[in-house]
């Protein structure tokens, strides 16, 4: 690579950090209506920044929800086109009292940057903007054609992005998609992730009476929705952690022996993992290791429960309602719509007539997996090795980036997951953080990536 590009990346670290700090300071919480204006302001800030970086045709494009920011640089005829995807929206910050420093004031402690969005995904997407900038400012050109698409609704299930991609297929045409929105296997162990889980999300509402009831006067006469909900949820999984929804496992692609062997070879310390989580004991589907359970097996989880009196002291009451948020993580080749249908049928079957049941589908996303022999994966592996002085390991992940499957089907483009986070990054939780060695190393690796991709023919 041109030494001036490398030199500029190595000498601009404090500026990169200052700029990321300003990006993070805009509280683009997509889930909360009170932050809608901030989310839009963040899109505007990004667009200005992308223009300053040297991207062209930069636009903030409206959707029925939060806007998409687009920019490109397409002046390398004959070279491959890379689509960089990321999301500028972030998760809510509650519980706020558990943050050591304010969530939107990026703070460095022990070479880690703490803030909401530090890793998910502002810090990670910023890496690519800085690498593009380094090339463009020092050489006036890029070895590839680049398109950048940054969305503001990833954390709420990307409700408008599939349609956006279908509507802008020509503008998004590319040979490969590069996404940095996932963790490395371990701090300092660069990784390429070749599989993500999908998702199917629901809310269940039960009502047993028009209002809360005196539990002495009426206890025994009516069903208690909190108790019914617990009984219904208890029927979703058996003691071995297998999901009991009929048909749930029909389309699950089993792990291959080779994959199981490779997972076993990864430097995974189960004892340390348990300790870090503060879990008294690990628990999951029988017959599978922890990595297999989280990366390659589907799950059924309760994300939230609400019912009755939860304040201090006691109150003798039968709650009128009970509510649960539940979600299922899916693996190839489960289809979120099909799974949603199976769940709805089963939940109706296990609900007694003594309560009114409402089942609401929230969002879903397809699981994804790619082959490791893909030449772009190999190009990314070389770039990562150049940027981090260490060859990447190959992982799958339990999280979801539903749009990745859409890139494959709609744009016919493979995705490379160039993850720069860490497993202890506290994404979606208080004290979210990004390792600064990953941030700076990622910028260098991203800068190498363009040349490695330019050498590749898909
Ligand atoms: N960065 C994550 C995705 C992720 C997490 C990938 C962990 C690999 C490992 C992303 O921002 C996210 O949180 N996605 C949501 C998607 C959902 C709202 C459809 C998720 O996984 O819960
Ligand atoms: Zn997230």
Instruction: List the beta bridge partners of residue 145.
Output: 81
274 in a structural domain: no
| Number of other residues whose CB lies within 10 A of the CB of residue 377 | 21
User: Residues 19, 72, 89, 151: which is the catalytic one?
Assistant: 89
| Residue 380, in any domain of the structure | yes
Euclidean distance between CA atoms 80 and 237, whole angstroms: 47
| Residue span of the structural domain in which 168 resides | 3-196+367-457
206 shares its domain with 348: yes
Q: Which of 217, 145, 200, 154 lies closest to 178 in space, CA to CA?
A: 145
Claim to verify: residue 354 and residue 381 sit in the same structural domain? no
Please report which ligand is nearest the Cα atom of 161. 1
- Write out the H or E segment, with its range, that includes residue 415: strand 415-417
Answer yes or no: do 372 and 348 share one domain.
no
pLDDT in tens, 382-392: 999 999 999 99
The residue among 362, 392, 413 that closes a domain is: 362
**Which residues share a beta bridge with 307?**
322
Instruction: Return averaged pLDDT per consecutive 10 residues of the chain, 458 residues in all.
Output: 97 98 98 98 98 98 98 97 98 98 98 98 98 98 98 96 97 97 96 97 98 98 98 97 98 96 96 96 98 98 98 98 98 98 98 98 95 92 97 96 96 96 96 98 98 86
Exposure of 95 in the CB half-sphere (CA atoms within 13 A): 2
Does residue 344 have an active-site annotation?
Answer: no
Same domain, yes or no: 342 and 397: no
Give the pocket of ligand 1 (CB within 6 Å): 120-121, 154-155, 157, 181-183, 196, 199, 363, 365, 397, 399-402
pLDDT in tens, 248-296: 999 999 999 999 999 999 999 999 999 999 999 999 999 999 999 999 9
Active site residue 89: yes
| pLDDT at residue 373 in the model | 87
Distance of CA 89 from the midpoint of ligand 2 (Å):
9
Query: Are residues 197 and 398 in contact, defined by beta-carbon separation less than 8 angstroms?
Result: yes
Q: How many domains does the chain fold into?
A: 2
Kindly state whether residue 272 falls inside one of the protein's structural domains.
no
> Is 149 domain-assigned?
yes
In the numeric block, the tokens 């903007």 are attached to 129
Tell me whether residue 383 is exposed, middle or buried, using C-beta atoms within 10 angstroms of its C-beta: 0 to 12, 13 to 18, 19 or more.
Answer: buried
The CATH number of residue 390's host domain is: 3.40.630.10
| pLDDT computed for residue 83 by the predictor | 98
| Residue ending a domain, choose from 342, 362, 382 | 362
Among 38, 112, 121, 154, the active-site one is 154
Indicate whether 246 and 371 sit together in one domain: no
Question: In 369-423, which ranges are continuous DSSP H helix?
Answer: 375-388, 403-411
Task: Indicate whether 357 and 403 sit together in one domain.
Answer: no
């Amino acid at each position: 690579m041109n030494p001036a590009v490398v030199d500029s990346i190595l000498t601009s670290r404090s500026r990169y950090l200052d700029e990321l700090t300003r990006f993070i300071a805009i509280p683009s919480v997509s889930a909360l209506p009170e932050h809608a204006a901030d989310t839009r302001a963040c899109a505007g800030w990004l667009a200005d920044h992308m223009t300053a970086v040297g991207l062209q045709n930069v636009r903030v494009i409206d959707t029925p929800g939060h806007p998409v920011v687009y920019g490109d640089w397409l002046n390398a005829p004959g070279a491959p086109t890379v689509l960089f995807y990321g999301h500028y929206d972030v998760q809510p910050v509650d519980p706020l009292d558990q943050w050591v420093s304010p969530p939107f004031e990026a703070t460095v402690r022990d070479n880690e940057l703490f803030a909401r969005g530090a890793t998910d995904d502002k810090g990670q997407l910023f890496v690519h903007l800085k690498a593009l900038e380094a090339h463009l400012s020092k050489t006036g050109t890029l070895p590839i054609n680049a398109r950048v698409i940054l969305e503001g609704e990833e954390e709420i299930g990307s409700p408008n992005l599939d349609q956006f991609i279908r509507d802008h297929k020509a503008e998004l045409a590319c040979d490969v998609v590069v996404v940095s929105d996932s963790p490395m296997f371990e701090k300092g162990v660069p990784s390429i992730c070749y599989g993500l889980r999908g998702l199917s999300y629901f809310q269940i509402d039960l009502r047993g009476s028009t209002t809360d009831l005196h539990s002495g006067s009426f206890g025994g006469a009516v069903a208690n929705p909190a108790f019914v909900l617990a009984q219904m949820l208890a029927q979703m999984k058996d003691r071995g952690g297998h999901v009991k929804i009929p048909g749930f496992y029909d389309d699950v692609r089993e792990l291959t022996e080779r994959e199981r062997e490779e997972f076993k070879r990864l430097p995974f310390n189960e004892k340390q993992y348990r300790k870090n989580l503060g879990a008294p004991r690990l628990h999951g589907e029988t017959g599978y290791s922890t990595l297999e359970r989280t990366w390659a097996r589907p799950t059924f989880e309760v994300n939230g429960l609400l019912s009755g009196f939860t304040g201090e002291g006691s109150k003798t009451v039968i709650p009128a309602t009970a509510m649960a948020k539940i979600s299922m993580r899916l693996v190839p080749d489960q289809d979120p719509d099909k799974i949603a249908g199976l769940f709805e049928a089963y939940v109706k079957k296990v609900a007694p007539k003594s309560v009114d049941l409402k089942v609401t589908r929230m969002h879903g996303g397809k699981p994804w997996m790619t082959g490791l022999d893909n030449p772009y994966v190999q190009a990314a592996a070389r770039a990562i090795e150049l940027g981090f002085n260490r060859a990447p390991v190959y992982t799958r992940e339990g999280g979801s980036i539903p749009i990745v499957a859409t890139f494959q089907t709609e744009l016919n483009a493979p995705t490379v997951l160039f993850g720069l986070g860490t497993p202890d990054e506290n994404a979606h939780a208080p004290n979210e953080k990004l390792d600064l060695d990953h941030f700076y190393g990622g910028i260098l690796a991203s800068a190498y990536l363009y040349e490695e991709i330019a050498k590749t023919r898909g």
